[in-house]
Copies of this chain bind each other. A is one copy, B any other.
């Protein structure tokens, strides 16, 4: 066969493969036709949980939706996400933590902070004024017993039907995974931190 014939054959095979793929995907798309508020859980040890939640905030703002964000653990207020997103129209942003719990070492204080944060989250979950609610680093509050998992579950399930919620944090509890629509486990195959590189602004904060 000539080079031209080989190229033509390659292009034909490509077209056929993609046509088969299209048939499968079109069928899948046709069968996924419902709209509903999603509960997304982003968990695992890898980088990307909170940043993915903030990417969804950007997406939501692009569609003119209203967003509420509660950061349960984070205490610092110099993050890029807060500086940029919290000032946007349609965004309500609360940094409720004191930093990670190993910084405070005070159980009663950490629990009180988490409970105050949940009160704010609960108000959002009870209002149809928020199209997307981000509960950043919530899982740690359950892990350390600051919040009752059953209460969290119940408040999440009682939210408006079309409201999307994103929960982030390592070690998401089975009780959260069970009621979630979409769960992503993010595994760190490699992390710059392990090579002695500190958290970079614009990437990690």
Contacts and interface: CB of A to CB of B under 8 A. Distances in A.
A6 interface: no
Given A35-B200, A186-B186, A187-B185, A52 B62 contact: no
Interface stretch (A82-90, A115-123, A148-156): A82-90
Interface in A127-179: 131-132, 144, 164, 177
Interface in A28-56: 28-29, 31-36, 38, 40, 42, 44, 46-56
Nearest to A29: B198
Given A46-B186, A65-B201, 12 more contacts: A15-B105, A22-B103, A33-B196, A35-B197, A44-B187, A48-B184, A51-B52, A59-B80, A62-B81, A62-B82, A182-B190, A183-B190
- Copies of this chain present in the complex amount to 2
29 contacts: A11-B107, A14-B107, A14-B144, A15-B105, A15-B107, A18-B103, A18-B104, A22-B102, A25-B100, A25-B102, A28-B193, A33-B198, A38-B192, A47-B52, A51-B59, A54-B54, A54-B55, A54-B58, A54-B59, A56-B203, A60-B203, A62-B81, A62-B83, A131-B202, A181-B195, A183-B188, A183-B190, A185-B186, A185-B187
Contacts of A19: 102, 105
